[in-house]
Amino acid sequence: MDVAVIGASMTQFGQRDAWIRELLVEAGEACLADADVSPDGIDHLYVSNMASGEFEGQTGIMNHLAHDLSLMPAYSERVDQTSSSGGAGIYEAWQSIASGASETTLLVGAEKMTHRTTAEATDIIASITHPVEYKHGLTLPSFAGLTARHYLERFDAPRESLAKVAAKNHKNGVDNPKAQFQKEVDVETILESPIVADPLRLYDFCPITDGSAAMLFTTVERAEEIADEYAVVSGVGGATDTHVVHERDDPTVMGGVVDSSDEAYEMAGVGPDDVDVAELHDMFTILEFLQMEGLGFAEQGTAWQHVEEGRTDRDGELPINTSGGLKSKGHPLGASGVAQAVEIYEQLVGGAGPRQVDADVGLACNVGGFGNCVITTIMEAAE
């Protein structure tokens, strides 16, 4: 069965007083209201979340959300795929509808992080690493530093090109009222910010964020009957790369991006040239280059040129991260993959306001770990 998205929502991202339970309810309620669907119509509930137990001590959050939204006796499940939990939730939601197991599926992703110090949050996230990495104090930002240096040296790319990714995404975020940061940051400020993982600096990294986002899925057939507007999930693919990051043949190739997008393109019957707008997982600026290349938007070692030439700006030939990206919108781990797809949905139904671009085909790439698990989702405007 072909799968449609008939509703979407996201909470304010940033430093929130709300805890994980409240964030989930806020996005879930808003999504049901957006689609005008009542709780008793939900067959499956998926909750994307990486680490509510580790961050907050609250587990069993799918059960909590099902109860608070009165979704009983809907099937409910928490989906953890680290930073790509949101994308994995989309995959599960798609499967539930495509297989006929569910007629209407609610997906809500959320993370509550800002009550922890940066060091504590970094350690919780770094706990995904292999013991031979963790014992040396490897963190996700340090993988980004190692990979960025290799990319810049090998492809003779200027350091400024990474800063331009951050500047572009901050500029896009100015027009997203739900974003954690809504201010422009110029290249000079980025290049003068404190070093976090040499050669990367503070503004090469996304912030620590609280937030939640939600989507409602059903069949295209039913969407035609009940929805004012909808988008079609035409392709979705997921793939896993090595757990130990240094074991990959080429540090600049994200195998999970390549494999998951091959699968999604094939299912959708489209290629990279058909994509009109994309949300990429810019947890670190270097990841935007690596995903552009893995997705086929640029040849290996050339993504930086596309950014330098403005081709990925909002008014460029392929706008990337019109939402502001993880960089300015924020990165509440389990919510991020859902929020990426929410932006694509809004772009496809014409609901993106000042961020609106002309798009019939949109792509979201959600990266877990340092490319350890990746989900690529392709959505298309309803005919």
Partner 1 sequence: MTMNAGLCPNGHASYPTHPRCPDCGEPQDAGTIDLSKSSAEVVTWTRSTATPPGVREPNTLAIVEFDVSDATDGGDDVVRAIGQVTGDADVETGDEVEPVYAEELRDPEAGIKVPESQEWDGYRFDPVQ
Residues interacting with partner 1, by CB under 8 A? 54, 118-120, 122-124, 126-127, 130-139, 141-142, 145-147, 149-150, 153, 194-200, 242, 244-247, 251
Q: Which residue has the tokens 């949300």?
A: 279
Helix, strand or coil for residue 322? coil
Element (H, E) at 44: strand 44-48
State the alpha helices, DSSP H only, in the chain.
20-35, 52-56, 61-68, 85-98, 118-126, 131-134, 140-155, 159-173, 187-192, 220-226, 255-268, 285-294, 303-308, 325-329, 333-349
Q: Whose Cβ is closer to partner 1: residue 100's or residue 131's? A: 131
Q: Whose Cβ is closer to partner 1: residue 80's or residue 133's? A: 133
For residue 70 the two structure tokens come to 């009165």
For residue 127 the two structure tokens come to 């706990």
Q: Residue 115 burial by CB count (10 A; 0-12/13-18/19+): exposed, middle or buried? A: middle
**Shortest distance, position 168 Cβ to partner 1, whole Å:** 24
Q: Whose Cβ is closer to partner 1: residue 87's or residue 251's? A: 251
CA pair distance 255, 246, nearest whole angstrom? 13
First to last CA, the chain: 16
**Shortest distance, position 164 Cβ to partner 1, whole Å:** 21
- Is residue 255 within 8 A of residue 25, CB to CB? The reply is no
**Shortest distance, position 116 Cβ to partner 1, whole Å:** 11
**Shortest distance, position 56 Cβ to partner 1, whole Å:** 13
For residue 196 the two structure tokens come to 């976090």
**Shortest distance, position 247 Cβ to partner 1, whole Å:** 6
CA pair distance 210, 276, nearest whole angstrom? 29
Q: Whose Cβ is closer to partner 1: residue 15's or residue 193's? A: 193
**Shortest distance, position 119 Cβ to partner 1, whole Å:** 5
Q: Whose Cβ is closer to partner 1: residue 122's or residue 302's? A: 122
Q: Whose Cβ is closer to partner 1: residue 91's or residue 370's? A: 370
Residue 320, strand partner residues = 278
**Shortest distance, position 246 Cβ to partner 1, whole Å:** 4
Q: Whose Cβ is closer to partner 1: residue 67's or residue 246's? A: 246
**Is omega for the bond preceding 73 within 30 degrees of 0, making it cis?**
yes
Residues sharing a CB contact under 8 Å with residue 310, sequence separation 6 or more, in sequence order:
316
**Shortest distance, position 111 Cβ to partner 1, whole Å:** 16
Q: Whose Cβ is closer to partner 1: residue 6's or residue 128's? A: 128
